[in-house]
């Protein structure tokens, strides 16, 4: 097998080139090739300096994650980086694309670094539940200081080449189109310079304040995660120990994390997110329908948020409303949202203007005829949606994709009112639509393969994580939410309190529990609006205007700052219902809450898989991570059930009398996995 590494001579400069698509991951073949090339350069007296660069879209984007969990293959990455740094001849890293993880560590093991302006550097290992294990936690603070090293390693977000230059992480910017030539020129400049600069030989200034403030500023963000603390500890170690001792500590912490459940969960999600974009029975190279303009029907919260996704990606939008007042309100909200983003420095004012200029508000439904994709985002009522799709069928251009943003309703029933069911699909955005990353793409019975593939590709363009769902009430996420809500409400009647149930979920790692979520979304959602008709606890709350945070009272009471407190009135309402139902409250354990509100979700997920309403178990995990804030360090409901032990989950379900999905029971008894 040919090596992914080749070398080219430019006089006395040896250029070492990696060609390992798609991201030049530092797999065993790359490491072996690099080792051989460096040794060749050092041994060859006619070589004065070396350049390392990569073909394709990026410099090394990290270690090869697919190798994790397998027996290590020499040369290990830390050894290779140390060898590059120990070279008797200067090595220049020529960076483009994303020098991430082990790629960044190779770069800082080199003696000099030059990057094109569009390049990014980073150590996102923490997002895999890991830490830079090839010397990054020890070299970064020596090169760029403690504060930046903490940001890069413990948060895992990349920095631009310009910021890296300002921080001393790189030495020079190259021309966007002249990286190799500029790197060779740089190598010629430094080939006689002595001593060769080595990051590991630098001192790192202790910076206790930076560490303390970083920990304090990020405590909430890191809640529940193990890897951030390990990254911080390694960087802190660098301020008080020799390089060798720091490396030993880094290695120990890296192995501890690598063997842990959290990293396995986070690596699972890394691949699951990418797998979700693949449609098993549609060819990956199917021609896509061009989407030059998107139409959105409804300028409410969802319609406005949906429109912003496309405008931010440079795709013009025609947005339709029935009344001018609603249209103005909607477009005004969109502008305010953009301006708030600009105020935080995450968008330039000219980008706001460009986005709003690409928006065409109209009251004329016929204007949608120019759109290639039309997304309906109006009131969640089947009759209303059928009426709209009937009209759309009459005006949309042939081949236009007709999508509904419905969160529950039957896409096949909607498609059936048109003469083009093959062009109808569900695009279920999560609120706020311009923020939440999840998009459930609902495949109707007749949805064409190219329609599905087009929407999945478009989702990536608007920076969404898309998952294909089948037609079933609530699709994947909301269908699994239902048993959780039903059981949580039953538990209230049987003796639990809203804060007890929410506390279990928050301790588990959810951003909020079922009742906190109800108060945020609105207790009155789906309420029949008849205050005299009180059939359940939510009816009783809604009837007293306890609609949640928006009325400063729901399952909790809220002060001016929306800080929640337990409500005596809610306790009374629950008590009244217990008396009315003849229920004597009893002690509810945490295990019972977990079994009845979390195991039941897993059970529903297994049924969804059995019915073919999700392509794979990992897709269900992706839905819950990106749509509901399931803690990524638990890998999603189906991965978590696997790590809990399916037999334990089945036993818990049976203990509380739930019928267990056949596939779940079979997997548990065979020791297999949910697929």
Which of 25, 14, 2 has the alpha carbon at shortest distance from 52? 14
**Cα–Cα distance, 408 to 381 (Å, whole number):** 10
**Cα–Cα distance, 507 to 459 (Å, whole number):** 32
627 binds ligand T1G (CB under 6 A): no
Out of 22, 345, 612, 671, the residue judged to bind ligand T1G by CB under 6 A: 22
Judge whether 365 and 295 are in contact, CB under 8 Å.
no
User: In this structure, how many other beta carbons lie within 10 angstroms of the beta carbon of residue 346?
Assistant: 9
Nearest CB to ligand T1G, comparing residues 41 and 109: 109
Q: What are the start-end ranges of the H helices in 91-173?
A: 102-109, 136-144, 146-150, 161-167
Nearest CB to ligand T1G, comparing residues 152 and 317: 152
52 binds ligand T1G (CB under 6 A): no
77 binds ligand T1G (CB under 6 A): yes
Nearest CB to ligand T1G, comparing residues 132 and 631: 132
- Could you tell me the smallest distance in angstroms from the CB atom of residue 37 to ligand T1G? 20
Give CA angle at 502 (497, 507), nearest 5°: 130
Nearest CB to ligand T1G, comparing residues 62 and 477: 62
Question: Residue holding tokens 């069928």?
Answer: 393
Which of 23, 54, 52, 55 has the alpha carbon at shortest distance from 40? 52
Q: Which stretch binds ligand T1G (CB under 6 A): 127-135, 493-501, 540-548, 597-605?
A: 127-135
Q: How deeply is 439 buried, as exposed, middle or buried, from its count of CB atoms within 10 A (0-12, 13-18, 19+)?
A: buried
447 binds ligand T1G (CB under 6 A): no
Nearest CB to ligand T1G, comparing residues 152 and 378: 152
- Could you tell me the smallest distance in angstroms from the CB atom of residue 234 to ligand T1G? 11
Q: Report residue 180: phi and psi, to 5°.
A: -65, -45
Question: DSSP characters for 316-349?
Answer: -EEEE-SSHHHHHHHHHHHHHHHHHHHHTTSS-H
Out of 4, 101, 246, 426, the residue judged to bind ligand T1G by CB under 6 A: 101
Q: Which stretch binds ligand T1G (CB under 6 A): 40-48, 122-130, 468-476, 582-590?
A: 122-130
61 binds ligand T1G (CB under 6 A): yes
The residues in 405-434 that bind ligand T1G, with binding defined as CB under 6 A, are: none
Nearest CB to ligand T1G, comparing residues 13 and 65: 65
Out of 49, 108, 126, 128, the residue judged to bind ligand T1G by CB under 6 A: 128
Out of 102, 470, 474, 513, the residue judged to bind ligand T1G by CB under 6 A: 102
Active site residue 180: no
- Could you tell me the smallest distance in angstroms from the CB atom of residue 86 to ligand T1G? 18
3-state SS assignment for residue 314: coil
Burial 224-246 (b: 16+ CB within 10 A, else e): ebbbbebbbbbbbbbbeeebeeb
3-state SS assignment for residue 532: coil
* Number of residues forming the site for ligand T1G (CB under 6 A): 25
- Could you tell me the smallest distance in angstroms from the CB atom of residue 75 to ligand T1G? 13
Nearest CB to ligand T1G, comparing residues 138 and 600: 138
Q: Which stretch binds ligand T1G (CB under 6 A): 95-103, 239-247, 362-370, 430-438?
A: 95-103
Nearest CB to ligand T1G, comparing residues 202 and 274: 274
- Could you tell me the smallest distance in angstroms from the CB atom of residue 134 to ligand T1G? 4
- How far out from the chain centre does Cα 333 lie? 26
Nearest CB to ligand T1G, comparing residues 62 and 548: 62
- How far out from the chain centre does Cα 184 lie? 38
- Could you tell me the smallest distance in angstroms from the CB atom of residue 388 to ligand T1G? 35
- Could you tell me the smallest distance in angstroms from the CB atom of residue 105 to ligand T1G? 6
Judge whether 231 and 254 are in contact, CB under 8 Å.
no
Bridge partners of 112? 92
Nearest CB to ligand T1G, comparing residues 137 and 331: 137
Q: Which residues contact 191 (CB under 8 A, 6 or more apart)?
A: 12, 13, 48, 49, 89, 90
**Cα–Cα distance, 547 to 136 (Å, whole number):** 50
132 binds ligand T1G (CB under 6 A): yes
Sign of the alpha-carbon torsion through 562, 568, 570, 571: positive
533 binds ligand T1G (CB under 6 A): no
Q: Which stretch binds ligand T1G (CB under 6 A): 58-66, 169-177, 295-303, 636-644?
A: 58-66
Per-residue x/- mask for ligand T1G, residues 258 to 297, rule CB under 6 A?
Answer: ----------------x-----------------------
For residue 209, give Cα distances in angstroms to 150, 205, 215, 236, 446: 12, 12, 10, 11, 61
Give me the catalytic one of 8, 35, 125, 535: 125
125 binds ligand T1G (CB under 6 A): yes
Give me the catalytic one of 67, 74, 85, 105: 105
**Cα–Cα distance, 79 to 255 (Å, whole number):** 16
3-state SS assignment for residue 578: helix
For residue 238, give Cα distances in angstroms to 30, 85, 233, 643: 29, 18, 9, 34
Active site residue 105: yes
**Cα–Cα distance, 634 to 266 (Å, whole number):** 7
Out of 15, 54, 65, 238, the residue judged to bind ligand T1G by CB under 6 A: 65
250 binds ligand T1G (CB under 6 A): no
3-state SS assignment for residue 121: strand
The residues in 188-217 that bind ligand T1G, with binding defined as CB under 6 A, are: none
Judge whether 162 and 174 are in contact, CB under 8 Å.
no
The residues in 542-581 that bind ligand T1G, with binding defined as CB under 6 A, are: none
Out of 23, 49, 297, 378, the residue judged to bind ligand T1G by CB under 6 A: 23
Nearest CB to ligand T1G, comparing residues 75 and 511: 75
Q: Which stretch binds ligand T1G (CB under 6 A): 3-11, 124-132, 336-344, 642-650?
A: 124-132
What is the rounded end-to-end Cα distance, in angstroms, of the chain?
33
* Binding positions for ligand T1G, rule: CB under 6 A: 22-23, 25, 58, 61-66, 77, 98, 100-102, 105, 124-125, 128, 130, 132-134, 136, 274
Active site positions, annotated: 105, 125
């Amino acid at each position: 097998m040919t090596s992914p590494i080749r070398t080219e001579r430019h006089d006395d400069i040896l250029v070492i080139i990696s060609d390992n698509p798609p991201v030049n991951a530092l797999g065993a073949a790359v490491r072996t090739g690099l080792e051989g090339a460096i040794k060749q350069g050092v041994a060859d007296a006619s070589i004065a300096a070396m350049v390392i660069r990569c073909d394709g879209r990026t410099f090394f984007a990290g270690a090869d994650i697919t190798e994790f969990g397998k027996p290590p293959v020499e040369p290990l990455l830390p050894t290779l980086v140390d060898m590059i740094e120990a070279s008797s001849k200067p090595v220049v890293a020529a960076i483009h694309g994303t020098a991430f993880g082990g790629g960044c560590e190779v770069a800082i093991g080199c003696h000099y670094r030059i990057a094109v302006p569009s390049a990014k550097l980073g150590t996102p290992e923490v997002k895999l539940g890991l830490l830079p294990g090839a010397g990054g936690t020890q070299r970064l603070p020596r090169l760029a200081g403690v504060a930046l090293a903490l940001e890069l390693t413990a948060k895992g977000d990349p920095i631009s080449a310009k910021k890296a230059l300002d921080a001393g992480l790189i030495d020079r910017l190259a021309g966007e189109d002249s990286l190799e030539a500029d790197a060779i020129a740089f190598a010629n400049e430094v080939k006689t310079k002595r001593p060769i600069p080595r990051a590991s030989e630098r001192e790192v200034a202790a910076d206790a304040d930076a560490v303390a403030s970083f920990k304090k500023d990020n405590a909430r963000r890191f809640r529940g995660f193990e890897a951030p603390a390990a990254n911080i500890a390694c960087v802190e170690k660098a301020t008080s120990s020799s390089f060798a001792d720091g490396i030993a500590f880094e290695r120990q912490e890296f192995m501890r994390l690598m063997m842990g459940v959290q990293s396995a969960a986070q690596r699972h999600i890394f691949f699951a997110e990418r797998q979700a974009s693949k449609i098993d029975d549609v060819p990956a190279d199917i021609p896509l329908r061009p989407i030059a303009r998107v139409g959105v029907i409804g300028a409410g919260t969802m319609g406005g948020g949906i429109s912003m996704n496309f405008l931010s990606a440079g795709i013009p939008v025609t947005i339709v409303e029935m009344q001018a007042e609603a249209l103005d309100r909607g477009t005004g909200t969109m502008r305010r949202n953009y301006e708030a983003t600009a105020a935080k420095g995450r968008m330039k004012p000219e980008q706001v203007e460009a986005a709003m200029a690409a928006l065409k508000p109209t009251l004329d439904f016929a204007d949608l005829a120019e759109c290639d994709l039309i997304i309906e985002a109006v009131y969640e009522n089947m009759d209303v949606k059928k009426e709209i799709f009937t009209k759309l069928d009459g005006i949309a251009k042939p081949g236009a994709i007709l999508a509904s943003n419905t969160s529950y309703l039957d896409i096949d029933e909607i498609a059936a009112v048109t003469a083009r069911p093959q062009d109808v699909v569900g695009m279920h955005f999560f609120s706020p639509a311009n923020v939440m990353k999840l998009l459930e793409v609902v495949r109707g019975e007749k949805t064409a393969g190219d329609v599905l593939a087009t929407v999945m590709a478009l989702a990536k363009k608007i920076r969404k994580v898309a998952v294909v769902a089948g037609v079933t009430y609530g699709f994947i996420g909301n269908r699994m939410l239902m048993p959780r809500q039903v059981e949580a409400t039953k538990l209230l009647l049987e003796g639990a309190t809203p804060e007890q149930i929410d506390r279990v979920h928050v301790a588990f790692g959810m951003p909020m529990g079922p009742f906190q979520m109800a108060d945020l979304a609105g207790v009155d959602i789906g309420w029949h609006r008849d205050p005299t008709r009180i059939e359940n606890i939510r009816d009783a709350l809604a009837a007293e205007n306890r609609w949640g945070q928006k009325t400063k009272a729901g399952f909790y009471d809220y002060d001016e700052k929306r800080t929640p407190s337990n409500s005596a009135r809610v306790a009374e309402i629950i008590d009244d219902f217990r008396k009315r139902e003849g229920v004597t409250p009893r002690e509810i354990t945490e295990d019972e809450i977990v079994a009845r509100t979390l195991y039941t979700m897993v059970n529903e997920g297994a049924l969804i898989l059995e019915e073919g309403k999700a392509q794979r178990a990992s897709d269900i995990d992706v839905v819950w991570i990106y749509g509901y804030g399931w803690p990524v360090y638990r890998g999603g409901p189906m991965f978590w059930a696997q790590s809990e032990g399916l037999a334990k989950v089945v036993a818990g379900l049976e203990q509380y009398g739930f019928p267990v999905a056949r596939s779940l029971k079979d997997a548990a008894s065979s020791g297999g996995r949910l697929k």
